[in-house]
Amino acid sequence: MIIAIDGPSASGKGTLGRALAHKLGYHYLDTGALYRMVGLSVQRRGLDPTDQESAAAIAASLDPSSFQDSELRGEGVGSYASKIAALPKVRAALLKLQRDFAQKKPGTVLDGRDIGTVVCPDADFKFFVTASVEARAGRRLREHPTSDLAAITADIKARDERDSNRAVAPLKPAEDSILIDNSELTPDEALQAVLGAIELY
Ligand code: DC
């Protein structure tokens, strides 16, 4: 059983994916974290985030266990991640790792931007989680209370634009995905909506 959850940044798909995997006893993969690891490595080495060969080499030899979640969550890292995520060779280098993970038993939940469209086009369930820019910016501000709302909003819009308009694996709902508008839902309401949709089938 493979469940794909895609959506823009700060839409709440990570919270939802983690809770869903926990509820079902499945394995969970935050694929954005992989892109963030590559972005952070590029940033730390002072490399140009458009340098495809260097970023792809980092992606190909990635050791996820050498990163801490806290260092990956910063908005600066998200911006680097979004830039290197537009490079086709970086995406190709991370594809096998994601597909191998998806096969774990008894089931998996993967969240990202292209899980239902590219990584796992045959997923059993596909959800596309959206939320208004205002709701997403508010959510980010609660995670990073010292940040500035206007700067967070600008960053979210810039990332939406880059992630949705890149040539390879852009952010878009799979045709057979179920849409969840998470603007007004609590984490538990979002979880119940997804569980309800799964039970209907
Ligand atoms: O979900 P996130 O904010 O942690 O993702 C960080 C960036 O990684 C995001 O701006 C785009 C990229 N990404 C991607 O291109 N494909 C994925 N499956 C996951 C993330």
Whether the model pTM is above 0.75: yes
For ligand 1, the distance from its centroid to the CA atom of residue 112, given in whole angstroms, is 6
CATH classification code of 2-200: 3.40.50.300
Give the alpha-carbon dihedral of 154, 157, 161, 164, to 10 degrees. 150
Per-residue confidence (pLDDT) for residue 69, from 0 to 100: 86
Are 133 and 10 spatial neighbours (Cβ–Cβ below 8 Å)?
Answer: no
String of DSSP letters for 46-86: T--TT-HHHHHHHHHT--GGG--HHHH-SHHHHHHHHHHTT
Structure tokens at 110: 């993967």
- Which atom of ligand 1 lies at the shortest distance from residue 13's CA? 1
For ligand 1, the distance from its centroid to the CA atom of residue 34, given in whole angstroms, is 8
- Which atom of ligand 1 lies at the shortest distance from residue 159's CA? 10
Q: Within 6 Å (CB) of ligand 1, which residues are found?
A: 9, 31-32, 35-36, 78, 81-82, 85, 112-114, 159, 163
Q: Where are the domains of the chain?
A: 2-200
For ligand 1, the distance from its centroid to the CA atom of residue 88, given in whole angstroms, is 14
For ligand 1, the distance from its centroid to the CA atom of residue 195, given in whole angstroms, is 24
- Which pLDDT tens digits describe the chain residue by residue (201 residues)? 999 999 999 999 999 999 999 999 999 999 999 999 999 999 999 999 999 999 999 999 999 999 988 899 876 898 899 999 999 999 999 999 999 999 999 999 999 999 999 999 999 999 999 999 999 999 999 988 888 999 999 999 999 999 999 999 999 999 999 999 999 999 999 999 999 999 876
Closest to 85 measured CA to CA, from 77, 74, 75: 77
- Which atom of ligand 1 lies at the shortest distance from residue 72's CA? 4
Closest to 81 measured CA to CA, from 167, 180, 155: 155
Query: Checking DSSP bridges between strand 178-181 and strand 108-112, what pairing results, if any?
Result: unpaired
For ligand 1, the distance from its centroid to the CA atom of residue 157, given in whole angstroms, is 14
The answer to whether the bond into 106 is cis (omega within 30° of 0) is yes
- Which atom of ligand 1 lies at the shortest distance from residue 33's CA? 4
Task: Output the residue whose Cα is nearest ligand 1's atom 3.
Answer: 9
In tens, the pLDDT along 112-166 reads 999 999 999 999 999 999 999 999 999 999 988 888 999 999 999 999 999 999 9
